[in-house]
């Protein structure tokens, strides 16, 4: 069975946009677990634009499923991961100006910097994954630095349509095939939705899909009516009690 890791960064985005105390990241994670999610994924960005340090420690404390920490190769975040000890870490590229992770990590171009970090995180017991474009050279570079796992970037597949999407799907299939044939675990994610995830299920030996944005967006629509009704009920009951006074 393909596992689902739910990325709940955008729950923290909603909180941070008001610097409020809610919505609670741990309540959101608990609901994902209750629904059957196999893991919870969060990206602790260098600029802390959504997930905060306290969030990852709170999640580590309460989760019964795996916590997957997405992180750049930044010494402060690596030190935090070594203290936090999540079950999984996924190394991603990070640029402050970007809205979301754009493109995969250039593992082949940074072998010397990445290898010791992967070794250190693995030695501490974390399963380390490289978030890479579906490129055979990047798959092989990930194996060469000792990463046991890759997460294939499905963003281009998700964004494109027609022949371009089909070509990207074939690249994803080839990358998944190569990764699994050299003993790497294969995860994938980015931009996946109920509408586009179907073809991704054809990736050979797919282990986990990490999906965030579309699930949080969908949650707005499956929950909005209920949220408005709850407020209206409260307003109606308040008016009744006010009139009785
Ligand atoms: N995997 C990685 C490595 C990511 O950086 C992200 C986005 O934070 C995702 C998966 C999930 O992407 P989306 O939010 O588009 O589903």
Active-site residue, 43 included: yes
Give 90-123 pLDDT, tens digit per residue. 999 987 667 777 789 999 999 999 999 999 999 9
Q: Which ligand 1 atom sits closest to the C-alpha of 70?
A: 3
| Catalytic site residue from 38, 70, 94, 153 | 70
Q: Which ligand 1 atom sits closest to the C-alpha of 192?
A: 16
Secondary structure of residue 219 in the 3-state scheme: helix
Torsion on CA atoms 63, 65, 70, 73, rounded to nearest 10: 90
Ligand 1 environment, Cβ below 6 A: 7, 9, 43, 70, 90, 92, 100-101, 131, 151, 189-192, 210-214
Give 6-46 pLDDT, tens digit per residue. 999 999 999 999 999 999 999 999 999 999 999 999 999 99
Give 41-93 pLDDT, tens digit per residue. 999 999 999 999 999 999 999 999 999 999 999 999 999 999 999 999 999 99
State which of 28, 187, 212 you would mutate to test the pocket of ligand 1, scoring each by most atoms of that ligand within 8 A of its C-beta: 212
Give strand pairing partners of 127.
88
Q: Give pLDDT, residue 95.
A: 77
Burial of 187-224, coded b for 16+ CB within 10 Å and e otherwise, reads: bbbbbbeeebbeebeebeebbbbbbbbbbbeeeeeeee
Q: How many CA atoms, within 13 angstroms, populate the side-chain half-sphere of residue 141?
A: 21
As a whole number of angstroms, the distance between CA 36 and CA 221 comes to 20
CB 193 within 8 A of CB 155: no
pLDDT bracket for residue 242 (50, 70, 90): low
245 CA to centre of ligand 1 in angstroms: 53
> Where residue 201 sits, what CATH number does that domain have?
3.20.20.70
pLDDT bracket for residue 245 (50, 70, 90): low
Alpha helices in the chain (DSSP H): 9-16, 25-35, 53-62, 75-84, 111-123, 136-144, 155-159, 162-181, 213-244
State which of 131, 159, 190 you would mutate to test the pocket of ligand 1, scoring each by most atoms of that ligand within 8 A of its C-beta: 190
Instruction: Tell me which residue range forms the domain holding 167.
Output: 3-243
Q: Give pLDDT, residue 94.
A: 85
For the entire predicted model, the pTM comes to 0.95
Active-site residue, 70 included: yes
**Both tokens assigned to 32:** 């994902």
Q: Averaged over 133-155, what is the pLDDT? A: 98
CB 200 within 8 A of CB 172: yes
233 CA to centre of ligand 1 in angstroms: 37
How many domains in the chain? Answer: 1
| Catalytic site residue from 10, 43, 50, 153 | 43
């Amino acid at each position: 069975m393909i596992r689902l890791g739910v990325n709940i960064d955008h729950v923290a985005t909603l909180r941070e946009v008001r610097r409020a105390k809610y919505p609670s990241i741990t309540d959101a994670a608990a609901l994902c677990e209750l629904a059957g999610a196999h893991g919870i994924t969060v990206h602790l960005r260098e600029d802390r634009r959504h997930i905060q340090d306290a969030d990852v420690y709170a999640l580590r404390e309460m989760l019964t499923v795996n916590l997957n920490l997405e992180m750049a190769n930044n010494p402060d975040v690596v030190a935090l991961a070594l203290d936090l000890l999540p079950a999984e870490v996924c190394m991603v590229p990070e640029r402050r100006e970007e809205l979301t992770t754009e493109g995969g990590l250039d593992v082949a171009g940074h072998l010397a910097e990445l290898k010791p970090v992967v070794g250190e995180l693995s030695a501490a017991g974390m399963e380390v994954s490289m978030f890479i474009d579906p490129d055979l050279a990047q798959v092989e570079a990930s194996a060469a630095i000792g990463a046991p796992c890759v997460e294939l970037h499905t963003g281009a597949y998700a964004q494109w349509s027609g022949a371009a999407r089909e070509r990207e799907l074939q690249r994803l299939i080839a990358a998944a095939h190569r990764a699994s044939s050299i003993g790497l675990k294969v995860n994938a994610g980015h931009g996946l939705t109920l509408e586009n995830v179907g073809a991704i299920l054809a990736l050979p030996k797919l282990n986990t899909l990490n999906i965030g944005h579309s699930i949080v967006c969908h949650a707005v629509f499956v929950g909005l009516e209920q949220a408005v009704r709850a407020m209206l009920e409260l307003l109606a009951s308040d008016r009744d009690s006010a009139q009785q006074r």
